[in-house]
Amino acid sequence: MSQESTVISFDLLSQAIMNKMGVTEDISDEIALRVLNYFGYDEEIIDNVLDQDDRRMFYFLQDVELLSTHWEEVVLPNGRMWRVFYWSLNVSKILEYARPQIEETATEIGLYDSLPEDVWSRPTAHAV
């Protein structure tokens, strides 16, 4: 487990999924529940516990930076190397994505709106 002591709650993870992936609350709740059923109060799990469908979902959550993976190699008694894969909650990204999204304000000024009015008029031609 990492040095961070933040426990990722169901609501926090669901909000992060909703904000990052742009899905409905029902879908984000379902994903958060499936993920937390594996993690519980831990931040790391071993890959062997996942079924195939959930592993695919975990890879997708890794692509959107909510989960991360790492592995370690262990020497077996017969001398062979065995790789053990782990999944981790990306706590810092979950906290970042769970924050309320800042709405675009209508006061933002576009390039053309910022130009002065005299830019839009043509100088008159002088008769010779």
Starting at the edge strand found earlier in the chain, the sheet holding 81-89 runs 44-46, 81-89, 67-75
Q: Tell me the residue type at 40.
A: G
Element (H, E) at 74: strand 67-75
Tens digit of pLDDT at every position of the chain (128 positions): 444 467 899 999 999 999 999 999 999 999 999 999 999 888 999 999 999 999 999 999 999 999 999 999 999 999 999 999 999 999 999 999 998 876 654 455 666 666 777 767 776 666 55
Give pLDDT, residue 32.
96
Q: Is 58:87 a contact under the CB 8 Å cutoff?
A: yes
Answer yes or no: pTM beyond 0.75.
no
Alpha-carbon span 122 to 60, nearest angstrom: 56
Distance (Å) of CA 46 to CA 8, 14, 87, 128? 18, 22, 6, 87
Per-residue confidence (pLDDT) for residue 80, from 0 to 100: 94
Ranges of each domain in the chain: 10-120
pLDDT of residue 4: 47
Q: Tell me, what's the pLDDT at 117? A: 74
